[in-house]
Amino acid sequence: MPNGERYNENQNDEDRRAYDNLLIMCYPHHIETNDIEEYTVERLTQIKFEHESVFEKSNFKIDESELYKLASEMEKYWKDIERLNTIDHTFEELALFIDAKSSFFEILCSARKAIEGIEGLLDRLEKSDKNLMADFNKLIQSKGIPPELFEDVPYYENPLVVRNWEDHNLARQNWLQRLRIYLAHIEVKYIEEYLKTNRNDLIAKNRLEKIKATLSSFAQNAVHVD
């Protein structure tokens, strides 16, 4: 820009925005290289060349035609999913909604809410089972049968007292914890791959550090309830 350290009046706008004239830096290095006597055009050109040469030697290549093909195929696929889930659904009024536009992180959030929903359901079932004996006593009393008639039955032989105890106190905890671990594991794996081609996404980097800590905690502390 005019009055900038590196403004060149002999360049036009096309020259200025050309790839050969592009050098991206972090803020501290940007300020440092404003010293045009130490960092001449020739020196910056050499820095750019050496930096790019390192990555040009890399085996990591993106076939743009394949990338475009995949993007087109997936765009069509998600439109098909949206149509199948709404217009063409076999039972439209009862359809379970699938948001084809959801991001990866929105889907993970929905999955975690589903775990909360399952946990709430299991809480209600456990409460129902705990009240089963009381409900049974009310029922037999309504027919004139005294509840005391069953007092000599040991609790461990009474199916109404210990009903589904292991499912409520063991299996439930283990399966819900396992689901949480799987979701954390999936998220770490996804962001790990995502950042290989999106290294400057600071939000993803911050999220990766948080979910890595979560999975590390699971790895060290999660136990099988038995």
pLDDT tens sequence across 27-43: 888 889 888 889 998 99
% of the chain at pLDDT higher than 90: 60
The pLDDT of 63-83, averaged and rounded, is 90
- Residue 6: predicted pLDDT: 84
The pLDDT of 172-189, averaged and rounded, is 96
Q: Is the confidence at residue 208, as pLDDT, over 90? A: yes
The pLDDT of 89-102, averaged and rounded, is 92
pLDDT tens for 108-137 read: 999 999 999 999 999 999 999 999 999 999
**Smallest Cα–Cα separation from 195: which of 215, 211, 180, 219?**
211
Q: Is the confidence at residue 188, as pLDDT, over 90? A: yes
- Residue 75: predicted pLDDT: 93
- Residue 60: predicted pLDDT: 59
- Residue 50: predicted pLDDT: 84
Selected residue with higher pLDDT from 187 and 63: 187
Burial-class residue 195 by CB neighbours within 10 Å (0-12, 13-18, 19+): middle
CB 131 within 8 A of CB 186: no
What tokens appear for 153 in the block?
A: 């039955």
At 59, give phi and psi (nearest 5°). -80, -10
Q: Is the confidence at residue 101, as pLDDT, over 70? A: yes
- Residue 170: predicted pLDDT: 94
What tokens appear for 112 in the block?
A: 């975690």
- Residue 57: predicted pLDDT: 61
**Smallest Cα–Cα separation from 201: which of 111, 104, 107, 61?**
104
Q: Which long-range contacts (CB under 8 A, 24 or more apart) does 194-200 make?
A: 197/62
pLDDT tens for 129-178 read: 999 999 999 999 999 999 999 989 998 889 898 889 999 999 999 999 99
Q: Within a 13 Å sphere around the CA of 211, how many CA atoms are in the beta-carbon half?
A: 22
pTM score > 0.75 for this model?
A: no
- Residue 199: predicted pLDDT: 84
For the chain, the structural domain boundaries read 13-56, 64-94, 104-221
Q: What type of residue is 116?
A: E
Q: CA 210 to CA 188: how far, in whole Å?
A: 10
Provide the pLDDT confidence category of residue 58 given band limits of 50, 70 and 90: low
Distances in whole angstroms, Cα of residue 119 to Cα of each of 109, 111, 112, 172, 223: 15, 12, 11, 8, 18
